[in-house]
Structure 1
Amino acid sequence: MTNFVLVAGAWLGSWAWSDVLPDLRAAGHGVHPLTLSGLADKQGVKAGQQTHVDDIVGHVERLDLRDVVLVGHSYSGIPVGQAAGRIGDRLARVVLLDASVPVDGGSFVSSWPEGRAQVEAAIAANDGFWPPLTAADCAGQGLTDEEAARLVAGATPHPGATLTEPAVLPTPLDGLPATYVKCLLDGDEPSREVAELLEGERWELVTMDTGHWPMFSRPRELARVLLDAVGEGR
């Protein structure tokens, strides 16, 4: 039995995966959506980037999970990529869903050269938190009005330190078995860092014709993509 550990991106918590869970569970797998510290139902918990890495590693070890597929969406690709190297032979695969990837010594905002100053200014102006996304941020991402409203309503401020602190990679990413899922409405091409990893033998690329939040816009298709990653899709 595969154990899927699902980690949503900035502003979101475990609740964001609710429409994806039924198909994964129906296929007979363990499914473990995780809220990172400082977000959603864990608001008020102080968090830096390594706190989020520890959240993921601690969750896997506390539940004694094996055959683990770590799924990181958007921002959470940063802590998931680091956690993957720390859980050792518990790891079966990493799936990065339209995600950032960690670079040793780099941060989430350092991969956004054109937007770094804007994000850092927003954090500074909001007591150390990145303000939640708005309805305008959802435009063009394949979401219905209802889906966008649900996404925005559930979003909470994101701890700024997790976005600006540097990553520490215990294991080079190119040595991990990985699937990268590119959501085409959020850009046709993966980032330069991802493109370089996809040149390796252990990384594969999958595309989805939807926007940046497929757990809302295409949850059943996303579940099939995750099952395909472990050889159990259609």
Structure 2
Amino acid sequence: MTEINSTYVLIPGAWHGGWSWRPVAERLRAAGHRAVCLTLPGLGDGDDPAGLGLEDAVDHVVSEVEKLGTEVTLVGHSWGGYPLAGAAHRLPGKVSRVVYYAAQVPVRGRSLVEDNPPEAAAMLRGLIDASPTRSIPPTLQWVQGLFMQDVEEATQRLVADLLTPQPGAYFLDALDVPSVAELGIPALYILGQDDRALPLPGAEFAARLGLEPLMVPGTHEGMLTHPDEVAKAILNG
């Protein structure tokens, strides 16, 4: 059980901005907590994704936490597990807990692309190489087939329109830090029952933290479709 008046810093996944966490954040606030939804560099509306690397995302998380002046729980969705891990190592004494929601748990020295099966890795590299900004554009097909296959087409199209190109180096860069599990910070891994988007089974990512996943309803976008259940898991998991 979390403490009353905790501060949650919510880190979005690839192609997403802070908007994706807002339904969950509102529920955390209603429970008496502080919730801050981050939008990482290059992923805001109209941002230029060119020239950004993973360290820029990590720097942003660290800077925003330091501004808060209090201990925080870092919550990462999907690719957001990478900047979460990088930031946690640079914030000694400032992170009281980490929560991975349908998130990738990095291995030291291995990028997200390298953590994908070979065919998917080759596809991602090809998209980056083909882009003049070396970014990966979002597609409606990914939303419909991988991210939120359980909702009507109008909702899928709306979410696809909200997504922004992902800076390619966010996927190509690796972290040179040990596992978050080695920090001794309490951790939680939450997984949607119908998640299709992760490159490996969610249980395998949870096992990297020495955990079993806490299952909640929904797909990879459960923070939008099932915010009550996701917020409850974050608070009580």
Distance 2:48 2:171 in 1: 17
Distance 1:72 1:36 in 2: 12
Residues 137-216 of structure 1: pairs in structure 2 closer than 5 A: 137-139=143-145, 141-169=149-177, 172-174=180-182, 175-186=184-195, 189-190=201-202, 192-198=204-210, 203=211, 205-216=213-224
Q: CA offset at residue 171 of structure 1?
A: 6.0
SS at match of 1:104: coil
**Is 2:18 aligned against 1:6?**
no
**Is 2:90 aligned against 1:86?**
yes
Distance 1:173 1:138 in 2: 34
Q: CA offset at residue 193 of structure 1?
A: 4.5
Distance 1:145 1:100 in 2: 27
Paired amino acid for 1:158: Q
Distance 2:188 2:180 in 1: 15
Aligned residues: 224
Distance 1:8 1:133 in 2: 17
Q: CA offset at residue 82 of structure 1?
A: 1.6
**What TM-score does the superposition give when structure 1 sets the normalisation length?**
0.88
Q: Which runs of 5+ in 2 are unaligned?
A: none
Q: For the Cα contact (< 8 Å) 1:102–1:169, is it kept in 2?
A: no
Distance 1:85 1:155 in 2: 29
Paired amino acid for 2:207: A
Rate the CA distance shift 1:196–1:22 in 2: closer, same or farther, 3 A: closer
CA root-mean-square deviation: 2.0
Rate the CA distance shift 1:21–1:156 in 2: closer, same or farther, 3 A: same
Q: How big is each residue's C-alpha offset from its partner over 1:132-188, in whole Å with a ceiling of 9 and x where there is no partner? A: 131453236333334322211100100001110111216643433111111221259
Q: For the Cα contact (< 8 Å) 2:81–2:104, is it kept in 1?
A: yes
SS at match of 1:41: coil
Q: For the Cα contact (< 8 Å) 1:184–1:211, is it kept in 2?
A: yes
Q: CA offset at residue 70 of structure 1?
A: 0.5
SS at match of 1:149: helix
Q: Which runs of 5+ in 1 are unaligned?
A: 230-234
Q: CA offset at residue 205 of structure 1?
A: 2.4
Rate the CA distance shift 1:7–1:42 in 2: closer, same or farther, 3 A: farther
Paired amino acid for 2:68: L
Distance 1:146 1:225 in 2: 28
* Matched residue, 1:36: 40
Rate the CA distance shift 1:185–1:171 in 2: closer, same or farther, 3 A: closer
Residues 214-225 of structure 1: pairs in structure 2 closer than 5 A: 214-225=222-233
**What TM-score does the superposition give when structure 2 sets the normalisation length?**
0.87
Q: CA offset at residue 209 of structure 1?
A: 2.6
Paired amino acid for 2:229: E
